[in-house]
Structure 1
Amino acid sequence: MVSHAHQGTTSSALTRLSVNAARLLGTPPHGYAHLLGLAPEHLNDDLCRTPAATGIRIAELSTTHAPWSELSLVLAQQSSIGALGVWDYLITSAPTPLEGIRDGAAYLATVADTGTDSLRITEDGDHITISHVNQGERTYEVACAIRAYALGLYQRRLSEAAQRRLVPVHVALATEAPRRHDGLTELYGTRAIDFEAPLTSMTFLASDLKAPSPHAQPGLSAVLRRHAEQTLANAIPLHDWLDLFRIALASAHDHTTPTLSTVARRMTISPRTLQRRLDEHGTTWNDELETLRRTHITHLLHDTDLTIDAIAARSGYADARALRRAVQRWYNTTPAALRRAGHPHGSASARPNGD
């Protein structure tokens, strides 16, 4: 049902939600608009599947502008019925909310990357617990936001299936308690939230999830399952390995000077395999790192008032002298002259050298 080709990607519908949330949180689009899958012809095509790394990158940038708890709330608020396509209706059209969420778990690949994320359902007497498990390489804030949003999304769809708001008897989040809980209380409709739990989950009364859904139609679930399978069969996963590498490299660069082993771990491959794949694509680790630094430094020179010393420190150079040597090599000019000139292609003296 789920081919290996879908792993490492998410639906364009989920990516659109991430982009909308980023916009609402005031995240500057220049940080993510160039990423693979965000061209209009891909983002607005429901057959396209976006690299999961693109969505993670958008979330990373968003959590620099707002707490992870606010990002999870904004994502849930944008997730109206139908926003995630057939997956939404698998849950809301089943005979009971429980049968619907079971279908949602079985066909989670129509929305998410099932190589890293899964939805689990556990029955225990009078209670049913729904868990979201994430095993991907993500920053702490992004992992918290995704897990909290997933629970809010499941609750919203179950409530839509029941045609009334279903409030969990207990919510557990595998995260430290944020400074403010207001957004999470609004998201789940309860203050019964435990933090630092071993697993992110929410527990409902079994009687709530096993009650007949008011608008269930006999046979519709089978039709929707076939549609979900067809959706996966016709999907177009966007898998340009070099672009995925560059997304991972840029993401690592935000937090520290990236190392080959750090980026390899983000891409779940060995450092040796990473070097071999770069060679296959006609490039090297050092070339890619220098290109990223050049882009980053040019942006800082043009769009900030940081001193040359500060820019050198942010870019992984030992000192301002090393930075000046790099700018001279790239553009045949000095950082000060490049800053005055504006865009490096705006004058002959500020064009990158061909090396």
Structure 2
Amino acid sequence: MSDASAPATSPGTSRSTSATIAPNILRYLARVAHGYDVDLQPLLARVGLDSTVMTSTALRVSYRQGSDVIRQAVERTGDEHLGLRVGAAQHLTAWGLLGFAMMAADTQQEAIETGVRYQNLSGAMTVWSARWEEAGYVLRTDLPDPALDPTAAVFLIEEAYSSVVTLIRLNVGASFAPQAMEFAFPAPRDRSPFEELFRCPVRFDAAGNRMVIPTRWARAPMPGRDPITYASMLDVLDTEMASRRSQQDLLEVLEISIAQSLPAVPSFLEQARRHASSERTLRRRLAACGTTYEAIVDGVRRERAEQLLRRPELTLRDIARRAGFADVSALRRAVRRWHGATPLELRTELLEREAPSDRQRV
């Protein structure tokens, strides 16, 4: 293969409230934060990810849960390059069966293209693509949501490329270095962590995020290459992808149904009937997705409330009614649970974040 693009069911196609991402990044984030004497467990628990849930192999988290934890972890550690640290702490085994498939690939290029093809199974929170260009073999990544909080957005891009460089070095040689790195976000105050990690020219404020991999490294044989193991692992991954698409479709259909019905919320029995299913079967399908109907409703209401808070002309009473809350007090309790702030404080933060003077972009 010479070109690998993001799959049709890439992370960017999901609504931000869908719990569809394996929480690999959050697990490593918690480990790295611990080295700063920062305990993320209370924060994880607040977004529904307590210690018991985080050890579940079936756990999936949403982009909203992930970005909330990331943003606050960066603030609490005070490390503006936390994404680089988290990426550098990883190993291919963190990616489960996909990691083993990549290790069994024939060349580094085939390993990368395998990762791109099955990226929805890796816990990736960016959207990957790879292809040969004039400059060399180019690995690009984009954000699933351009409106993502700038702090979380920079973290995710840093983590993405840091993990790739770290894993390539673990597999084909510690001397690996990209030919060039380009980042769409503004240059940080201190560039040295980027120069030390990537060991190549690094450019910021670029048109997009990309890593140029020298030809000899792209075509380097993988030390653990095994065509039989590789083929068998792809069979397993194809089966898992088919199951994941079914789960993702279910979550998106439910979210859309709830969003279109607000301020009213369809009952669970009504949703089961719409899917020609029993309540028990629908609950079992949602459990397989790592979520519940109540969590989906909460996520959709949260998204709607945040959209409405961006409209200064609306009162809190208007927002509570349109988002399906019983009253303003219920809205206040929900916003406090989601953000640790009042609705008015959150409104100020959202409006300031989106003001034209905000120079952060990715």
Under a length normalisation based on structure 2, what TM-score does the superposition of the two structures give?
A: 0.66
Query: Quick one: structure 1 residues 275 and 202, their matched pair in 2 at CA, closer, same or farther if it must change by over 3 Å?
Result: farther
Give the drift of 1:141: 1.5
Number of the residue aligned with 1:197: 206
Number of the residue aligned with 2:180: 170
Give the drift of 1:201: 0.9
Q: What does 1:32-43 correspond to in 2, within 5 Å?
A: 32-36=44-48, 38-43=49-54
Number of the residue aligned with 1:242: 297
Asked if 1:51 corresponds to 2:62, the answer is yes
CA deviations 1:121-144 (Å, max 9, x no partner) are: 120256111011113131112101
Number of the residue aligned with 2:278: none
**Secondary structure of the residue that 1:119 maps to in structure 2?**
strand
Alignment check: 8 A CA contact 1:174 1:199 kept = yes
RMSD: 3.7
Query: Quick one: structure 1 residues 80 and 112, their matched pair in 2 at CA, closer, same or farther if it must change by over 3 Å?
Result: closer
User: 1: distance between equivalents of 2:115 and 2:169?
Assistant: 14
Number of the residue aligned with 2:190: 180
User: 2: distance between equivalents of 1:74 and 1:58?
Assistant: 16
Unaligned runs of 5+ in 1: 253-257, 264-271, 301-310, 318-355
User: 2: distance between equivalents of 1:195 and 1:209?
Assistant: 24
**Secondary structure of the residue that 2:171 maps to in structure 1?**
helix
User: 1: distance between equivalents of 2:144 and 2:338?
Assistant: 30
How many residues are matched? 283
Query: Quick one: structure 1 residues 129 and 243, their matched pair in 2 at CA, closer, same or farther if it must change by over 3 Å?
Result: same
Number of the residue aligned with 1:158: 168
CA deviations 1:292-315 (Å, max 9, x no partner) are: 466699x89xxxxxxxxxx99858
Asked if 1:289 corresponds to 2:344, the answer is no
Number of the residue aligned with 1:60: 71
CA deviations 1:150-209 (Å, max 9, x no partner) are: 01112222233324442001000111011112222233233x100001111110111211
**Secondary structure of the residue that 1:214 maps to in structure 2?**
coil
Give the drift of 1:110: 0.4
User: 1: distance between equivalents of 2:138 and 2:207?
Assistant: 14
**Which structure ranks higher in relative contact order (CA pairs < 8 Å, sequence separation ≥ 6)?**
2
Query: Quick one: structure 1 residues 288 and 23, their matched pair in 2 at CA, closer, same or farther if it must change by over 3 Å?
Result: farther
Number of the residue aligned with 2:86: 75
Query: Quick one: structure 1 residues 210 and 50, their matched pair in 2 at CA, closer, same or farther if it must change by over 3 Å?
Result: same
CA deviations 1:24-62 (Å, max 9, x no partner) are: 3444533332213x1334311122211221111111101
Query: Quick one: structure 1 residues 189 and 92, their matched pair in 2 at CA, closer, same or farther if it must change by over 3 Å?
Result: farther
Number of the residue aligned with 1:350: none
Query: Quick one: structure 1 residues 135 and 49, their matched pair in 2 at CA, closer, same or farther if it must change by over 3 Å?
Result: closer
Under a length normalisation based on structure 1, what TM-score does the superposition of the two structures give?
A: 0.67
Number of the residue aligned with 1:128: 137
Alignment check: 8 A CA contact 2:33 2:77 kept = no
Number of the residue aligned with 1:119: 128
**Secondary structure of the residue that 2:95 maps to in structure 1?**
coil
Query: Quick one: structure 1 residues 225 and 313, their matched pair in 2 at CA, closer, same or farther if it must change by over 3 Å?
Result: closer
User: 2: distance between equivalents of 1:195 and 1:41?
Assistant: 40
**Secondary structure of the residue that 2:227 maps to in structure 1?**
coil
Alignment check: 8 A CA contact 2:320 2:328 kept = no
User: 1: distance between equivalents of 2:122 and 2:24?
Assistant: 8
Query: Quick one: structure 1 residues 215 and 126, their matched pair in 2 at CA, closer, same or farther if it must change by over 3 Å?
Result: farther
**Secondary structure of the residue that 1:33 maps to in structure 2?**
helix
Alignment check: 8 A CA contact 1:93 1:161 kept = no
User: 1: distance between equivalents of 2:347 and 2:80?
Assistant: 31
Give the drift of 1:3: 6.6
Alignment check: 8 A CA contact 2:128 2:139 kept = yes
Q: Percent identity?
A: 15
User: 2: distance between equivalents of 1:39 and 1:222?
Assistant: 37
**Equivalent residue for 1:103, pick from 97, 114, 130:** 114
Give the drift of 1:316: 7.5
User: 2: distance between equivalents of 1:225 and 1:13?
Assistant: 20
CA deviations 1:38-91 (Å, max 9, x no partner) are: 133431112221122111111110121346642112211321231221222232
Give the drift of 1:274: 10
Alignment check: 8 A CA contact 1:12 1:42 kept = no
Asked if 1:223 corresponds to 2:276, the answer is no
